[in-house]
Amino acid sequence: MALAQDGAASNKYDANSWLAVAAGFAIGIAALGGTMGQGRAAAAALEGISRNPGAAARIQTPMILGLALIESLVLLSWVIAFFLQGKIAP
């Protein structure tokens, strides 16, 4: 009977360690996706400005808004990963 209880305790530890790994992967993937999205958005905006410098003011504002929205998704994933880490038992 004691051996079965020890096995249950190790399963809980395994679940907590996988939760920590999942939280780490979540923030890593979100950061990777966010940086790639921001890079592509900035590249497209700069390409548009280089083709038509007169439209720089009309391109810059939506680009900054888009970059802020992309960054908000990365920050939201950071908050979710932070809350997941709070569920990990020591």
Give the pTM. 0.70
pLDDT band, residue 88 (cuts 50/70/90): confident
Residue 80 tokens, joined: 């979710």
Instruction: Provide the residue type at 17 as one letter.
Output: S
- Measured CA to CA, the distance from residue 46 to residue 42 in angstroms comes to 6
Q: Exposed (0-12), middle (13-18) or buried (19+): which is 57, by Cβ within 10 Å?
A: exposed
Three-state DSSP class for residue 22: helix
Name the CATH superfamily housing domain 33-90.
F1F0 ATP synthase subunit C (1.20.20.10)
Give the closest residue to 31 by CA, choosing from 69, 85, 71: 71
Residues 6 or more apart whose CB falls under 8 angstroms from that of 37 comprise 70
pLDDT tens, residue by residue, 7-62: 555 555 677 778 888 888 888 998 999 999 999 999 999 999 999 999 999 999 99
